[in-house]
Chain A
Protein backbone atom coordinates (compact mmCIF):
# COMPACT_ATOMS: atom_id res chain seq x y z
CA UNK A 1 0.00 0.00 0.00
CA UNK A 2 2.69 2.42 1.00
CA UNK A 3 4.62 1.46 -2.08
CA UNK A 4 1.64 2.44 -4.21
CA UNK A 5 1.34 5.77 -2.41
CA UNK A 6 5.03 6.33 -2.91
CA UNK A 7 4.73 5.48 -6.59
CA UNK A 8 1.93 7.99 -7.06
CA UNK A 9 3.65 10.75 -5.13
CA UNK A 10 6.78 10.26 -7.22
CA UNK A 11 4.62 10.32 -10.33
CA UNK A 12 2.93 13.56 -9.27
CA UNK A 13 6.18 15.23 -8.29
CA UNK A 14 7.50 14.17 -11.67
CA UNK A 15 4.51 15.67 -13.44
CA UNK A 16 4.83 18.83 -11.38
CA UNK A 17 8.48 19.22 -12.30
CA UNK A 18 7.68 18.65 -15.92
CA UNK A 19 5.02 21.35 -15.83
CA UNK A 20 7.42 23.75 -14.16
CA UNK A 21 10.03 22.98 -16.75
CA UNK A 22 7.81 24.28 -19.56
CA UNK A 23 9.67 26.99 -21.37
CA UNK A 24 13.35 27.71 -21.59
CA UNK A 25 15.88 28.38 -18.90
CA UNK A 26 19.33 29.88 -19.31
CA UNK A 27 21.60 27.14 -20.69
CA UNK A 28 18.84 25.39 -22.64
CA UNK A 29 18.86 24.90 -26.38
CA UNK A 30 16.23 27.14 -27.98
CA UNK A 31 13.95 25.53 -30.56
CA UNK A 32 13.77 26.95 -34.06
CA UNK A 33 10.44 28.05 -35.52
CA UNK A 34 8.94 29.06 -38.82
CA UNK A 35 6.69 32.10 -38.56
CA UNK A 36 5.26 34.62 -40.98
CA UNK A 37 6.99 37.98 -41.15
CA UNK A 38 5.18 41.26 -41.90
CA UNK A 39 6.50 41.01 -45.48
CA UNK A 40 4.47 37.75 -45.78
CA UNK A 41 7.64 35.61 -45.97
CA UNK A 42 8.34 32.81 -43.53
CA UNK A 43 11.28 33.31 -41.17
CA UNK A 44 13.33 30.80 -39.15
CA UNK A 45 16.41 31.22 -36.99
CA UNK A 46 18.25 28.96 -39.43
CA UNK A 47 17.70 31.56 -42.18
CA UNK A 48 20.34 33.75 -40.57
CA UNK A 49 23.69 32.27 -41.45
CA UNK A 50 26.94 32.94 -39.64
CA UNK A 51 25.28 34.66 -36.70
CA UNK A 52 27.03 35.23 -33.41
CA UNK A 53 23.71 35.25 -31.70
CA UNK A 54 20.04 36.17 -31.70
CA UNK A 55 18.00 38.64 -29.70
CA UNK A 56 14.42 37.38 -29.68
CA UNK A 57 11.76 39.63 -28.21
CA UNK A 58 8.15 38.67 -27.63
CA UNK A 59 6.35 41.95 -28.05
CA UNK A 60 3.17 43.40 -29.50
CA UNK A 61 1.42 46.58 -30.64
CA UNK A 62 -1.06 47.26 -27.89
CA UNK A 63 0.91 46.93 -24.65
CA UNK A 64 2.16 50.28 -23.31
CA UNK A 65 5.30 48.61 -21.99
CA UNK A 66 5.99 47.13 -25.41
CA UNK A 67 5.41 50.55 -26.97
CA UNK A 68 7.88 52.15 -24.57
CA UNK A 69 10.54 49.77 -25.86
CA UNK A 70 9.90 50.09 -29.62
CA UNK A 71 12.55 52.75 -30.19
CA UNK A 72 15.01 50.93 -27.97
CA UNK A 73 14.52 47.69 -29.91
CA UNK A 74 15.18 49.58 -33.13
CA UNK A 75 18.35 51.03 -31.61
CA UNK A 76 19.41 47.60 -30.40
CA UNK A 77 19.07 46.21 -33.89
CA UNK A 78 20.96 49.14 -35.43
CA UNK A 79 23.80 48.60 -33.02
CA UNK A 80 24.05 44.82 -33.10
CA UNK A 81 22.87 43.54 -36.48
CA UNK A 82 26.19 44.50 -38.11
CA UNK A 83 28.02 42.80 -35.27
CA UNK A 84 26.25 39.53 -36.02
CA UNK A 85 23.38 39.60 -33.55
CA UNK A 86 19.99 39.36 -35.24
CA UNK A 87 16.98 40.98 -33.55
CA UNK A 88 13.74 39.06 -34.15
CA UNK A 89 10.43 40.28 -32.74
CA UNK A 90 7.51 37.90 -32.30
CA UNK A 91 3.94 38.92 -31.50
CA UNK A 92 2.50 36.09 -29.33
CA UNK A 93 -0.99 37.51 -28.78
CA UNK A 94 -4.26 36.09 -30.06
CA UNK A 95 -5.85 38.85 -32.18
CA UNK A 96 -9.27 37.39 -31.42
CA UNK A 97 -8.65 38.57 -27.84
CA UNK A 98 -6.65 41.71 -28.66
CA UNK A 99 -7.60 42.98 -32.15
CA UNK A 100 -4.87 45.64 -32.01
CA UNK A 101 -2.34 42.80 -32.32
CA UNK A 102 -3.63 41.40 -35.62
CA UNK A 103 -1.24 40.68 -38.47
CA UNK A 104 -2.50 43.73 -40.41
CA UNK A 105 -2.00 45.97 -37.39
CA UNK A 106 1.52 44.56 -37.00
CA UNK A 107 2.29 45.62 -40.57
CA UNK A 108 0.96 49.10 -39.88
CA UNK A 109 2.87 49.54 -36.65
CA UNK A 110 6.12 48.26 -38.15
CA UNK A 111 5.78 50.78 -40.96
CA UNK A 112 4.99 53.66 -38.59
CA UNK A 113 7.97 52.85 -36.41
CA UNK A 114 10.32 51.83 -39.25
CA UNK A 115 11.06 48.44 -37.78
CA UNK A 116 14.21 47.23 -39.53
CA UNK A 117 14.07 43.71 -38.14
CA UNK A 118 11.65 40.81 -38.69
CA UNK A 119 8.36 41.17 -36.82
CA UNK A 120 6.76 37.72 -36.82
CA UNK A 121 3.29 36.54 -35.94
CA UNK A 122 3.02 33.51 -33.63
CA UNK A 123 0.00 32.13 -35.47
CA UNK A 124 -1.72 29.47 -33.39
CA UNK A 125 0.39 30.54 -30.37
CA UNK A 126 2.77 27.59 -30.64
CA UNK A 127 6.12 29.33 -30.17
CA UNK A 128 5.75 31.50 -27.07
CA UNK A 129 4.93 28.52 -24.76
CA UNK A 130 8.01 26.65 -26.01
CA UNK A 131 10.13 29.64 -25.04
CA UNK A 132 8.19 30.22 -21.83
CA UNK A 133 7.46 33.86 -22.58
CA UNK A 134 4.94 35.20 -20.08
CA UNK A 135 4.66 38.88 -20.90
CA UNK A 136 5.32 41.54 -23.49
CA UNK A 137 8.02 42.64 -23.89
CA UNK A 138 10.08 39.57 -22.92
CA UNK A 139 13.63 39.16 -24.25
CA UNK A 140 15.67 36.00 -24.93
CA UNK A 141 19.32 36.22 -26.01
CA UNK A 142 20.78 33.16 -27.73
CA UNK A 143 24.33 32.45 -28.82
CA UNK A 144 25.37 31.11 -32.25
CA UNK A 145 24.43 27.55 -31.18
CA UNK A 146 20.99 28.76 -30.05
CA UNK A 147 21.88 28.21 -26.42
CA UNK A 148 19.91 30.56 -24.17
CA UNK A 149 22.27 33.03 -22.53
CA UNK A 150 19.91 35.61 -21.09
CA UNK A 151 16.18 35.93 -20.34
CA UNK A 152 14.44 39.04 -19.14
CA UNK A 153 14.29 42.79 -19.64
CA UNK A 154 16.23 44.96 -22.08
CA UNK A 155 17.26 47.39 -19.37
CA UNK A 156 16.32 48.48 -15.88
CA UNK A 157 13.98 51.38 -16.61
CA UNK A 158 10.97 50.90 -18.83
CA UNK A 159 9.43 54.31 -18.30
CA UNK A 160 12.44 56.46 -18.92
CA UNK A 161 15.15 55.46 -21.37
CA UNK A 162 17.28 58.35 -20.16
CA UNK A 163 17.23 57.09 -16.59
CA UNK A 164 18.47 53.60 -17.44
CA UNK A 165 21.38 52.55 -15.26
CA UNK A 166 21.85 48.94 -16.42
CA UNK A 167 21.56 47.80 -20.04
CA UNK A 168 21.07 44.09 -19.45
CA UNK A 169 21.07 42.97 -23.07
CA UNK A 170 24.06 45.06 -24.10
CA UNK A 171 25.94 43.74 -21.08
CA UNK A 172 24.91 40.19 -21.95
CA UNK A 173 26.21 40.53 -25.50
CA UNK A 174 29.44 42.18 -24.31
CA UNK A 175 29.97 39.23 -21.96
CA UNK A 176 29.23 36.72 -24.73
CA UNK A 177 31.70 38.47 -27.05
CA UNK A 178 34.34 37.87 -24.37
CA UNK A 179 33.33 34.23 -24.09
CA UNK A 180 31.75 34.78 -20.68
CA UNK A 181 28.30 34.08 -19.35
CA UNK A 182 26.10 37.14 -18.82
CA UNK A 183 25.59 38.30 -15.26
CA UNK A 184 22.74 38.60 -14.46
CA UNK A 185 21.42 36.02 -16.88
CA UNK A 186 17.80 36.42 -15.74
CA UNK A 187 15.81 39.53 -14.85
CA UNK A 188 12.17 40.31 -14.26
CA UNK A 189 10.15 43.26 -15.47
CA UNK A 190 6.59 44.47 -15.51
CA UNK A 191 4.74 43.74 -18.73
CA UNK A 192 1.40 42.80 -20.24
CA UNK A 193 0.12 39.26 -20.03
CA UNK A 194 0.15 37.35 -23.29
CA UNK A 195 -3.40 37.37 -24.60
CA UNK A 196 -5.01 33.97 -25.13
CA UNK A 197 -8.60 32.86 -25.44
CA UNK A 198 -10.21 31.69 -22.19
CA UNK A 199 -9.54 28.08 -21.45
Chain B
Protein backbone atom coordinates (compact mmCIF):
# COMPACT_ATOMS: atom_id res chain seq x y z
CA UNK B 1 0.00 0.00 0.00
CA UNK B 2 2.75 2.37 1.06
CA UNK B 3 4.68 1.57 -2.08
CA UNK B 4 1.71 2.24 -4.33
CA UNK B 5 1.05 5.50 -2.53
CA UNK B 6 4.66 6.57 -2.88
CA UNK B 7 4.59 5.60 -6.52
CA UNK B 8 1.45 7.64 -7.15
CA UNK B 9 2.84 10.57 -5.21
CA UNK B 10 6.06 10.37 -7.21
CA UNK B 11 4.11 10.17 -10.44
CA UNK B 12 2.00 13.21 -9.60
CA UNK B 13 5.07 15.22 -8.60
CA UNK B 14 6.68 14.18 -11.87
CA UNK B 15 3.60 15.24 -13.81
CA UNK B 16 3.43 18.56 -11.97
CA UNK B 17 7.09 19.14 -12.77
CA UNK B 18 6.48 18.41 -16.42
CA UNK B 19 3.69 20.95 -16.44
CA UNK B 20 5.93 23.58 -14.86
CA UNK B 21 8.83 22.72 -17.08
CA UNK B 22 6.68 23.18 -20.15
CA UNK B 23 6.21 26.78 -19.06
CA UNK B 24 9.56 27.50 -17.61
CA UNK B 25 11.03 30.93 -18.13
CA UNK B 26 14.52 31.02 -19.60
CA UNK B 27 16.31 33.98 -18.06
CA UNK B 28 18.91 35.80 -20.13
CA UNK B 29 21.12 38.15 -18.16
CA UNK B 30 23.30 38.41 -21.23
CA UNK B 31 21.48 39.29 -24.43
CA UNK B 32 24.13 37.55 -26.55
CA UNK B 33 22.93 34.17 -25.28
CA UNK B 34 19.36 34.96 -26.33
CA UNK B 35 20.63 36.19 -29.69
CA UNK B 36 22.64 33.03 -30.24
CA UNK B 37 19.66 30.81 -29.50
CA UNK B 38 16.82 32.62 -31.26
CA UNK B 39 18.15 35.27 -33.62
CA UNK B 40 21.38 33.90 -35.02
CA UNK B 41 20.04 30.46 -35.77
CA UNK B 42 21.97 28.02 -37.98
CA UNK B 43 21.29 28.29 -41.72
CA UNK B 44 19.53 24.90 -41.81
CA UNK B 45 17.00 26.00 -39.18
CA UNK B 46 13.79 26.52 -41.16
CA UNK B 47 11.50 27.42 -38.28
CA UNK B 48 9.67 30.72 -38.35
CA UNK B 49 9.92 32.46 -35.00
CA UNK B 50 7.29 34.91 -33.81
CA UNK B 51 8.84 36.71 -30.86
CA UNK B 52 6.60 38.98 -28.83
CA UNK B 53 8.46 41.48 -26.63
CA UNK B 54 6.20 42.31 -23.72
CA UNK B 55 5.98 42.68 -19.93
CA UNK B 56 3.34 41.99 -17.29
CA UNK B 57 3.39 45.70 -16.37
CA UNK B 58 2.65 46.78 -19.96
CA UNK B 59 -1.12 47.11 -20.35
CA UNK B 60 -1.32 47.10 -24.17
CA UNK B 61 0.97 44.05 -24.19
CA UNK B 62 -1.31 42.10 -21.87
CA UNK B 63 -4.34 43.23 -23.83
CA UNK B 64 -3.05 41.80 -27.11
CA UNK B 65 -2.04 38.40 -25.67
CA UNK B 66 -5.42 36.76 -26.47
CA UNK B 67 -4.72 37.48 -30.15
CA UNK B 68 -1.51 35.49 -29.80
CA UNK B 69 -3.44 32.68 -28.16
CA UNK B 70 -5.65 32.51 -31.25
CA UNK B 71 -2.68 32.68 -33.62
CA UNK B 72 -0.99 29.85 -31.70
CA UNK B 73 -4.17 27.78 -32.06
CA UNK B 74 -4.29 28.57 -35.75
CA UNK B 75 -0.71 27.33 -36.28
CA UNK B 76 -0.74 24.50 -33.72
CA UNK B 77 -0.28 21.78 -36.36
CA UNK B 78 2.72 23.47 -37.87
CA UNK B 79 5.83 22.75 -35.83
CA UNK B 80 7.76 25.13 -38.09
CA UNK B 81 6.00 28.11 -36.58
CA UNK B 82 7.10 28.86 -33.04
CA UNK B 83 5.81 31.54 -30.72
CA UNK B 84 8.17 32.94 -28.11
CA UNK B 85 7.21 35.38 -25.40
CA UNK B 86 10.18 37.57 -24.55
CA UNK B 87 9.43 39.35 -21.32
CA UNK B 88 11.10 42.58 -20.28
CA UNK B 89 9.78 42.29 -16.74
CA UNK B 90 12.09 43.67 -14.08
CA UNK B 91 14.53 41.12 -12.68
CA UNK B 92 13.04 41.30 -9.19
CA UNK B 93 9.57 40.51 -10.56
CA UNK B 94 10.39 37.43 -12.63
CA UNK B 95 9.50 35.06 -9.78
CA UNK B 96 6.70 37.10 -8.25
CA UNK B 97 4.90 38.48 -11.31
CA UNK B 98 6.06 36.86 -14.55
CA UNK B 99 6.06 33.18 -13.59
CA UNK B 100 2.60 33.20 -11.95
CA UNK B 101 1.27 35.13 -14.97
CA UNK B 102 2.45 32.66 -17.59
CA UNK B 103 1.44 29.61 -15.55
CA UNK B 104 -2.14 30.87 -15.66
CA UNK B 105 -1.88 31.00 -19.45
CA UNK B 106 -0.96 27.54 -20.72
CA UNK B 107 -0.69 28.78 -24.32
CA UNK B 108 2.42 30.75 -23.32
CA UNK B 109 4.67 27.75 -23.68
CA UNK B 110 8.02 29.28 -24.53
CA UNK B 111 8.95 32.14 -22.29
CA UNK B 112 12.18 34.02 -22.00
CA UNK B 113 13.02 36.97 -19.79
CA UNK B 114 15.67 39.37 -21.00
CA UNK B 115 17.19 41.14 -18.03
CA UNK B 116 20.34 42.45 -19.66
CA UNK B 117 20.48 46.16 -18.71
CA UNK B 118 22.51 47.13 -21.79
CA UNK B 119 19.32 48.05 -23.65
CA UNK B 120 20.85 50.64 -25.95
CA UNK B 121 23.04 47.88 -27.34
CA UNK B 122 20.65 44.98 -27.58
CA UNK B 123 17.56 46.88 -28.85
CA UNK B 124 19.49 47.52 -32.07
CA UNK B 125 20.55 43.91 -32.22
CA UNK B 126 16.89 42.85 -32.17
CA UNK B 127 16.04 45.39 -34.86
CA UNK B 128 17.46 48.73 -35.90
CA UNK B 129 13.92 49.85 -36.68
CA UNK B 130 12.75 49.27 -33.11
CA UNK B 131 12.70 52.33 -30.83
CA UNK B 132 12.47 50.19 -27.70
CA UNK B 133 8.80 50.68 -26.88
CA UNK B 134 6.72 47.62 -26.14
CA UNK B 135 4.79 45.70 -27.28
CA UNK B 136 6.91 44.80 -30.31
CA UNK B 137 6.60 41.64 -32.35
CA UNK B 138 9.49 40.28 -34.35
CA UNK B 139 8.83 37.84 -37.17
CA UNK B 140 11.92 35.89 -38.12
CA UNK B 141 12.70 33.26 -40.73
CA UNK B 142 16.34 32.42 -41.41
CA UNK B 143 17.95 35.84 -41.94
CA UNK B 144 14.70 37.66 -42.77
CA UNK B 145 13.07 39.87 -40.16
CA UNK B 146 10.04 42.08 -39.71
CA UNK B 147 9.71 44.24 -36.60
CA UNK B 148 6.20 45.41 -35.81
CA UNK B 149 6.10 48.03 -33.08
CA UNK B 150 2.87 48.63 -31.19
CA UNK B 151 -0.05 46.44 -30.21
CA UNK B 152 -2.33 44.41 -32.46
CA UNK B 153 -5.83 45.67 -31.80
CA UNK B 154 -7.52 42.73 -33.50
CA UNK B 155 -6.42 39.13 -33.97
CA UNK B 156 -6.79 39.62 -37.74
CA UNK B 157 -4.04 42.27 -37.66
CA UNK B 158 -1.64 39.68 -36.28
CA UNK B 159 -2.85 36.98 -38.68
CA UNK B 160 -2.33 39.29 -41.64
CA UNK B 161 1.22 40.19 -40.60
CA UNK B 162 2.15 36.54 -40.20
CA UNK B 163 0.61 35.71 -43.56
CA UNK B 164 2.32 38.62 -45.32
CA UNK B 165 5.67 37.59 -43.90
CA UNK B 166 5.13 33.93 -44.79
CA UNK B 167 4.13 34.76 -48.37
CA UNK B 168 7.10 37.04 -48.81
CA UNK B 169 9.85 34.92 -47.28
CA UNK B 170 8.79 31.31 -46.95
CA UNK B 171 6.40 30.24 -49.68
A→B interface (CB under 8 Å): 62, 64, 98, 134-135, 152-153, 156-160, 163, 184, 187-195, 198
Contacts and interface: CB of A to CB of B under 8 A. Distances in A.
B120 A188 contact: yes
Contacts of B151: 193
B144 interface: no
Contacts of A152: 120
A134 B133 contact: yes
Contacts of B120: 152-153, 156, 184, 187-189
B153 A191 contact: no
Residue from A163, A187, A192, A193 having most chain B Cβ neighbours under 10 A: A193
Nearest to B135: A193
Contacts of A194: 133
For the complex of A and B, 3 pairs with smallest distance between CB atoms: A135-B133, A134-B131, A187-B120
A interface SS class: loop
B38 interface: no
Given A152-B120, A188-B124, A188-B131, 18 more contacts: A62-B59, A98-B59, A134-B133, A135-B133, A156-B118, A156-B119, A156-B120, A158-B117, A159-B90, A159-B91, A160-B117, A184-B120, A187-B120, A188-B123, A190-B133, A191-B131, A193-B134, A194-B133
Contacts of B58: 192
Given A188-B124, A190-B88, A135 B117 contact: no
B131 A163 contact: no
B153 A198 contact: yes
A152 B119 CA distance: 11
A27 B57 CA distance: 35
Contacts of B90: 64, 159
16 contacts: A134-B133, A135-B131, A156-B120, A159-B90, A160-B117, A188-B124, A188-B130, A188-B132, A190-B88, A190-B123, A190-B132, A190-B133, A190-B134, A191-B134, A192-B133, A193-B151
